[in-house]
Structure 1
């Protein structure tokens, strides 16, 4: 069984933070609130619009950050530092003291500690078709999300056919084996961010 929801860019909520703006794409459970820290996972994008910025501390959460545009240096004080170019990513604890240098746009996955998740970047030229196979044991909530950063993609799953446009996110909640087919039927290249989440 799988539940498929398309979240268009017009449905997403944008707000300001100390270093720029952030857009919440999806949060789970749906009625949870980022400020209350009562969510299990959250997907968002952010524009970092100042050269140096201090990240908001999120104790009790793990973070995965991928650069969509620009270049970003992350310094996790007392831990590690990394320089990220487009589609490169870093994983770190939300409670760490983190400072960023550089202006960029990034994609963020925030997970309550104990929940597993990862990000992957897929690039599909015009005419390319590929499959993603998902497996769940029926004992936990599993999620697959596909965020279209550039271009658009056709996705086939669970006898449904959905077109994911630029800035849209397709979210699938599944609890059994599921095969997803993605196809770029369009002229321009498509760049996707795939999100995999398992709640234990």
Structure 2
């Protein structure tokens, strides 16, 4: 099953630590109050405009990537655009901007209950690709360009949710397309 999640429907909310805002793309179970509710996972994107310390999420693991801007210096190591960082939610993290604001995408998932992965795909203009899907739920976040999947057109900043499929066929738009593929399943 495919579901288009337009960026216009993302739920904007303050960071847990109050130092910025994030756009929640999806949360499981749906409607869970974040950050206080008992959730299995949460997918979101945030703009980072200043050096800051990350909110802590004990008992959760996190995957994070910069999809717009130069990158972040995380605990004195560079996290450049499109690189993916995995870390524990209770780990103290300090982030410094590298040459200006960035947009990141991140998944927070309950350790021991959920398995998650994230990778970056590049699709050439008008190229069609079949992408194997190994988890129960997948999100395809369009970080650059646009792409089509069945009857859906996924624009820059939008997300396609794919449930219970082994493969999805996509076609890139008129320019190069960069997609974050995030997979989730229960352990």
Tell me if TM exceeds 0.5: yes
Count how many residue pairs are aligned between Structure 1 and Structure 2: 180
How far apart in 2 are the matches of 1:82 and 1:113? 24
Listed one character per residue, the Cα deviations across residues 98-152 of structure 1 (whole Å, up to 9, x for unaligned) are: 111114211101101121111111111212111112246xxxxx11110111211
Closer/same/farther in 2, CA of residues 91 and 37 from structure 1, 3 Å limit: farther
The answer to whether 1:183 aligns with 2:177 is no
Runs of 4+ in 1 over 2 A off after TM superposition: 15-21
TM-superposed CA distance for 1:74, in Å, is 1.0
Counterpart position of 1:24:
24
What secondary structure, in the 3-state scheme, does the structure 2 residue paired with 1:97 have? coil
The answer to whether 1:5 aligns with 2:3 is yes
Counterpart position of 1:107:
105
Does the 8 Å CA contact 2:131/2:167 hold for their aligned counterparts?
yes
Worse-superposed segment, 29-38 or 109-118: 29-38
Which ranges in structure 1 are unaligned for 5 or more consecutive residues? Answer: 76-80, 137-141
What secondary structure, in the 3-state scheme, does the structure 2 residue paired with 1:180 have? strand
Counterpart position of 2:85:
90
How far apart in 2 are the matches of 1:151 and 1:19? 30
What secondary structure, in the 3-state scheme, does the structure 1 residue paired with 2:12 have? strand
Does the 8 Å CA contact 1:19/1:49 hold for their aligned counterparts?
no
Among candidates 128, 133, 144, match of residue 138 of structure 2: 144
Matches for 1:158-177 after TM superposition, within 5 Å: 161-174=151-164
Closer/same/farther in 2, CA of residues 16 and 135 from structure 1, 3 Å limit: closer
Does the 8 Å CA contact 2:40/2:110 hold for their aligned counterparts?
yes
Closer/same/farther in 2, CA of residues 15 and 135 from structure 1, 3 Å limit: closer
Counterpart position of 1:196:
183
Closer/same/farther in 2, CA of residues 57 and 135 from structure 1, 3 Å limit: closer
- TM-score, with normalisation over the residues of structure 1? 0.84
TM-superposed CA distance for 1:196, in Å, is 0.8
How far apart in 2 are the matches of 1:19 and 1:73? 17
Listed one character per residue, the Cα deviations across residues 63-104 of structure 1 (whole Å, up to 9, x for unaligned) are: 0001112210111xxxxx531111011000001111111142
- TM-score, with normalisation over the residues of structure 2? 0.90
TM-superposed CA distance for 1:45, in Å, is 0.6
RMSD over aligned Cα, in angstroms? 1.5
